[in-house]
Amino acid sequence: MPDLTNNIVSYKNDTLIENALSPLKKIVSLIDKSNLSFQQNDIKTTLDYLNEAWMIFQGTPSVYSHELNALILYRFVQIYFKKQDFKKLEYFSELLLDVSQKIGDTEKEVTALTNIGITRSVFSDYKTSMPMFVDALEKSRQLGLRNNAANCLINIGTIYANLFNYEEALNRYNTVLEEYQDVLIETTHIAIHLNIGNLYYASDQYKLSLDFFKKALASAQNLNKKNYAAHAHALMSRTYLALYHLPKAIQSAHLAAEYMSQIDNAPGRQINLLNLAQITFLEEDTEGSSEMVLRGIAAARRAQDDASELRGFKLFSEILKKEKNFERALRCQMIYSQKQEDYLKMQRNMHILDYEIRYALRDKERKIEELTKEVRYQTLLIDRNSQIEKQNEQLRQANEELQQFAYITSHDLKEPLRMIGSYSQIIQKMFAHLLDDDSRLYFKFINDGATRMNGLLDALLQYATIGKADLELEPVQIADIIIIARSNLKLIIEETDTNILCGEMPTVKAIPSFLVQLFQNLIGNAIKFRQENNRPIILINAEEKNNDWLFSIKDNGIGIADEHKERIFVIFQRLHHRNKYEGTGIGLSICNKIVTQLGGKLWVESEPGRGSTFLFTIPK
Ligand code: ADP
């Protein structure tokens, strides 16, 4: 039980505390006492304590607490359920529903819903009871209250059975048997089997109905539950009669009668009396059967079993006819017709009600489904977003680390490298007179290696710094960029007599220094990878493509085989030995990084021996 004394902490004024404390204390102690007597199954004393607590609670507005209220009401509901006092049960369940919803106590809400459902069912108000059970079922499932979920399903099934909707009823009972077997108490299990048997009987599927009655009978006998066994026998006998299986019908009816003689108010009594009446009639004992049928009809009335009453009148009129008591037979026939008409009318009304209920439920179910879908979708979306955010963050961190790594290595490696280079030169100079040709060659290797490594580190540094700056894009005229790139490559252009033809160039938003690097690398490669004895010709073009500018740098060089077209963009990937073509294998990866940073793409189209075209886009 929650610590209710906490509720008074907020009272500032001492006298208020005093005033509030005493009724609160009294209520709590009364609830405690009622709990105790409830556990001892002393319903009367429990009720006395509860009523007293309830009175104090209602008379003292200052202690008003929904939790406390829910606690008292919950106990009332339990008590009146036990007492099967449906009027009071309904009253307190409705109060409990209200307050449990206010405090968001779903478990108590489920109790309230279920009990309102039960009371309304008892008063045959299926239209109200059905949605209560459906709601309670849904919530019980969510909360994992399997016991309650099973009860709700059984109640829903029974309502459907009362509405003559056998299919829906069977569906619910079967679900209970399939999914909730473990929480069913034995007698409930038997009752469900009997109900299913009855449903099959009502839909003229006698063989199936017998199967279920037999199952029920077996369990009842196992548990020595005479009333259930009696009921099962009676129902079996009725089914055998429908199948014209007289010996078996007789056997079952006699067994049922034997059980019934041992217990008061056996369920299915009216059914068995009519079975016996029918059997005696078939045995041509009209006198015996007319006595039995009258007893059967009376019992059916007491049990408010309309179907049996109808069966009784039908049989009785046949008996009277057989007795040639035509006047009475006619009167009986008229009563039967009237009753049958009433019964059919009732059945029709139930069908309509069933339709209305299912229509309303479908609406409700649709709303629930939509809501669940939406919640599921939203959760999925949130999950996805947070996943993406997490991945982005990881990616960003990894990128940053990589950049830092590359920057630090290239920076910090250059210093020791410079030392290697300069000291080897000093040694070479100092001992120049002692060096033979081989030694001089070895020194050349050292110097070349140092220079090459220096070049690699420069390129690495360049690569690392591309992503470093926070990009502040500015309008850049590409024509100007090309002029700068060309002037940086002036020497090699002149040396190789390269012809560069340039179309009209746009202005784009970018970082000028990066674009110079980009064009310079691509033009530089176009010259470097020229064909021997062939004057390099480079065509540079730009065209609008949807939301992008598409640039192309086309050469007449050696070209690139298909299988290499992807890997040349990977850092340090080269296709040739540096003896043939100098380089570090970083140029294109830098180009790729620059274009990607601007939101574009870089690729190559080429044919070995016929030249290459490097293409890239830059968003407008
Ligand atoms: P590097 O030029 O330093 O070798 P890059 O990354 O610029 O490195 O180029 C990678 C490889 O792609 C080059 O080694 C070369 O084999 C190939 N390549 C690049 N540009 C061209 C081109 N215009 N024609 C033919 N091959 C090229």
pLDDT digits (tens, 9 = 90+) for 239-249: 999 999 999 99
Residue 202: how many other CB atoms lie within 10 Å: 14
Name the residue with the closest Cα to ligand 1, atom 7. 587
Distance 525 CA to ligand 1 centre (A): 6
Beta bridge partners of 502: 540
Residues, the chain: 620
More confident residue, 424 or 3: 424
Which tokens sit at 263? 């217990």
**CB under 8 A, 24+ apart: contacts of 392-399:** 399/467
d(CA 298, CA 332): 15
Distance 486 CA to ligand 1 centre (A): 18
Name the residue with the closest Cα to ligand 1, atom 19. 525
- Torsion sign (Cα): 49, 50, 54, 57: positive
CA 496 to chain centre: 69
Distance 490 CA to ligand 1 centre (A): 19
Per-residue confidence (pLDDT) for residue 134, from 0 to 100? 92
Average pLDDT over residues 321-335: 90
Name the residue with the closest Cα to ligand 1, atom 16. 575
**One-letter amino acid for residue 66 of the chain:** H
Distance 536 CA to ligand 1 centre (A): 15
* Least-confidence region, from 35-44, 165-174, 186-195, 458-467: 458-467
* Least-confidence region, from 64-68, 305-309, 341-345, 535-539: 64-68
**One-character DSSP codes across 504-558:** ---EEEE-HHHHHHHHHHHHHHHHHTPPTTS--EEEEEEEEETTEEEEEEE--SS
Name the residue with the closest Cα to ligand 1, atom 21. 525
Q: Is residue 3 predicted with pLDDT exceeding 70?
A: no
344 to 166, 195, 308, 347, 351: CA distances (angstroms)? 16, 21, 14, 5, 10
- Check if the beta carbon of residue 555 is closer than 8 Å to that of residue 536: yes
Q: Which of 4-13, 160-169, 396-405 reaches the highest mean pLDDT?
A: 160-169
Per-residue confidence (pLDDT) for residue 471, from 0 to 100? 62
Per-residue confidence (pLDDT) for residue 6, from 0 to 100? 38
Per-residue confidence (pLDDT) for residue 14, from 0 to 100? 47
Q: Is residue 465 predicted with pLDDT exceeding 90?
A: no
Strands 548-554 and 537-545: antiparallel
Angle 379-150-73 from CA coordinates, rounded to 5°: 85
Distance 568 CA to ligand 1 centre (A): 7
d(CA 373, CA 47): 45
**471 DSSP assignment:** P
Residues with CB under 6 A from ligand 1: 521, 525-526, 529, 555, 557-558, 560, 568, 574-576, 583-589, 612
Atom of ligand 1 nearest to the CA of 526: 23
Which tokens sit at 226? 């005479």
Q: What percent of the chain has pLDDT over 90?
A: 58
Per-residue confidence (pLDDT) for residue 2, from 0 to 100? 36
Average pLDDT over residues 583-591: 89
Residue 121: how many other CB atoms lie within 10 Å: 21
327 to 116, 320, 321, 323, 324: CA distances (angstroms)? 49, 9, 9, 11, 9
How confident is residue 357, by pLDDT bands cut at 50, 70 and 90? confident
* 186-202 vs 166-179: helix crossing angle, rounded to 10: 150
Average pLDDT over residues 257-275: 93
Name the residue with the closest Cα to ligand 1, atom 18. 525
Per-residue confidence (pLDDT) for residue 535, from 0 to 100? 94
Per-residue burial over 299-315, b = 16 or more CB atoms within 10 Å of its CB, e = otherwise: bbeebebbebbbbbbbb
d(CA 210, CA 203): 13
Q: Which of 503, 500, 506 is nearest to 520 (CA)?
A: 500
Question: Where are any strands of DSSP class E within 77-222?
Answer: none
> How do residues 112-139 score in pLDDT, each as one tens digit?
999 999 999 988 899 999 999 999 999 9
Per-residue confidence (pLDDT) for residue 299, from 0 to 100? 96
> How do residues 14-57 score in pLDDT, each as one tens digit?
445 445 557 788 888 898 899 899 989 899 999 999 999 999 88
Q: What percent of the chain has pLDDT over 70?
A: 95
Per-residue confidence (pLDDT) for residue 8, from 0 to 100? 37
Per-residue burial over 501-519, b = 16 or more CB atoms within 10 Å of its CB, e = otherwise: ebeebeebebbeebbbbbb
| Mean pLDDT of the residues in the chain | 88
More confident residue, 583 or 182: 182
Q: Which of 525, 582, 591, 615 to mutate to test the pocket of ligand 1 (most atoms within 8 A of CB)?
A: 525
